[in-house]
């Protein structure tokens, strides 16, 4: 049977380099791994060019905004940014306007993603004001729930009900609500007021509730948070800004929650990652309009990462600090496992044909091209990767610097629930 698409290069996933060959895809799935190109409607042949063909990267923590906040970002611009970086699945957070904590808001968001997304997508439900809505939200095609610090104060009964859902994925921003209350103008003072102890305390609180759900601690900014999470049996991810941005930086571009830590904490966090101490890297892509990142009185916290983080993270491989297989675990198989998605993050027949073709290359990261968020703190930083093509369900959506206009994106939770 003729394939829809064949892409060739150096085949690699989290298990290691498979050698030079070709991946054939049809009907959204990988149909075979071959030594040479086979008959197909489309052939992308990068053999002999030092190009890796890997599973597409997965970002399990993004804020695509949209709905009433589409001036910051929308489902199209955010997923275009993702596609340009080889990211083939994003999981969207619920702190939108309106919050994704009612069936109506979630359905509106899912309709927007079905219509506009260029890559595969998932969405988390927010904690509802009424505990009685928890089961109804859980029955929708969502990846799980997201708990924010304010939920632990304002919606604790609903939080407890969510934690009682057997096997449900619950993603947690690990700070107690008290951490958000002190107001400090400088980023360095924010790091003191929102210290590592608040993260550890949040993890311990959730552990004391004896959850039946699967808890995942996101954007852990302190090594102690990771230790507490792992001792509690929770999975954990780290964000690129807590790993790669040096010092605090008093400019609004560096403001993020949880805040950037000292260079010592950053070094220890990076060491933990290099020692395979975390389950995934997730960007916490948080775009804002230019005026929101330049007006001192607003200084909205968040960094737009989707176009840059895989290239910057890959620099750890180029430096010899991180193995290629470990990079692909952190950027693909690890997030897929946390989300409970089989057939993602691997190169094998029957897997979802979400693929990235890329090669090591010394580059400079410019201003975002596809995202609406133009102001970023890593402008002109050195990147280490060039993405040549991104395929979603075997369909090229980004090829050599341009979007193709084609997309067959899916929400994997529409088809099956993680087991």
Helices first, then strands: H and E counts in the chain: 15, 17
Rounded CA separation 355/23 (Å): 9
Rounded CA separation 323/60 (Å): 21
DSSP letter, residue 71: T
Rounded CA separation 385/373 (Å): 21
Place of tokens 């360095």: 188
For 368, how many CA atoms within 13 A lie in the half-sphere containing its CB?
30
Are 101 and 154 within 8 A, CB to CB?
no
Beta strands in 63-213 (DSSP E): 87-92, 120-126, 144-147, 169-172
DSSP letter, residue 331: I
Are 3 and 39 within 8 A, CB to CB?
yes
Strand order in the sheet with 144-147: 57-62, 87-92, 120-126, 144-147, 169-172, 214-217, 235-238, 280-281
Beta strands in 271-345 (DSSP E): 280-281
- Residue 284 is among the residues annotated as catalytic for this protein: yes
Three-state SS at 260: coil
Are 29 and 394 within 8 A, CB to CB?
yes
Phi and psi, residue 310, nearest 5°: -60, -40
User: Residues 13, 284, 337, 354: which is the catalytic one?
Assistant: 284
Q: What amino acid positions are annotated as catalytic residues?
A: 284
């Amino acid at each position: 049977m003729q394939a829809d698409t064949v892409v060739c290069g150096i085949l690699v996933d989290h298990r290691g380099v498979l050698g030079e060959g070709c991946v054939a895809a049809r009907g959204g799935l990988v149909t075979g791994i071959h030594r040479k190109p086979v008959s197909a409607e489309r052939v992308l042949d990068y053999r002999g060019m030092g190009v890796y063909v890997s599973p597409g990267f997965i970002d399990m923590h993004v804020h695509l905004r949209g709905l009433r906040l589409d001036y910051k970002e929308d489902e199209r611009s955010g997923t275009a940014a993702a596609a340009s970086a080889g990211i083939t699945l994003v999981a969207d957070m619920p702190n939108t306007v309106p919050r994704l904590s009612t069936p109506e808001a979630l359905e509106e968001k899912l309709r927007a993603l079905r219509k506009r997304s260029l890559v595969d997508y998932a969405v988390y439900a927010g904690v509802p004001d009424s505990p009685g809505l928890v089961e109804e939200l859980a029955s929708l095609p969502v990846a799980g729930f997201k708990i924010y610090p304010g939920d632990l104060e304002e919606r604790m009964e609903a939080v407890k009900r969510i934690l009682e859902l057997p096997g449900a994925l619950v993603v947690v921003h690990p700070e107690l609500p008290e951490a958000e209350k002190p107001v400090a103008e400088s980023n360095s003072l924010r790091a003191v007021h929102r210290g590592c102890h608040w993260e550890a305390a949040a993890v311990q609180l959730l552990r004391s509730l004896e959850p039946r759900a699967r808890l995942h601690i996101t954007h852990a900014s302190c090594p102690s948070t990771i230790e507490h999470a792992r001792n509690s049996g929770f999975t954990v991810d780290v964000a690129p800004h807590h790993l790669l941005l040096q010092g605090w930086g008093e400019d609004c571009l560096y403001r993020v929650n949880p805040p950037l830590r000292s260079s010592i904490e950053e070094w220890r966090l990076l060491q933990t990652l290099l020692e395979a101490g975390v389950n995934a890297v997730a960007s916490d892509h948080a775009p804002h309009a230019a005026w929101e990142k330049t007006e001192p009185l607003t200084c909205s916290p968040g960094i737009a990462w989707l176009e840059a983080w895989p290239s910057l993270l890959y620099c750890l491989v180029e430096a010899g600090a991180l193995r290629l297989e470990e990079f692909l675990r952190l950027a693909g198989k690890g997030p897929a496992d946390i989300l409970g998605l089989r057939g993602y993050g691997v190169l094998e027949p029957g897997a979802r044909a979400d693929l990235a073709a890329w090669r090591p290359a010394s580059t400079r990261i410019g201003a975002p091209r596809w995202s609406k968020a133009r102001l970023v703190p890593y402008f002109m930083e050195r990147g280490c990767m060039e993405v040549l093509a991104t395929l979603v369900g075997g369909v090229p959506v980004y090829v050599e610097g341009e979007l193709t206009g084609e997309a067959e994106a899916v929400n994997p939770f529409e088809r099956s629930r993680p087991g």
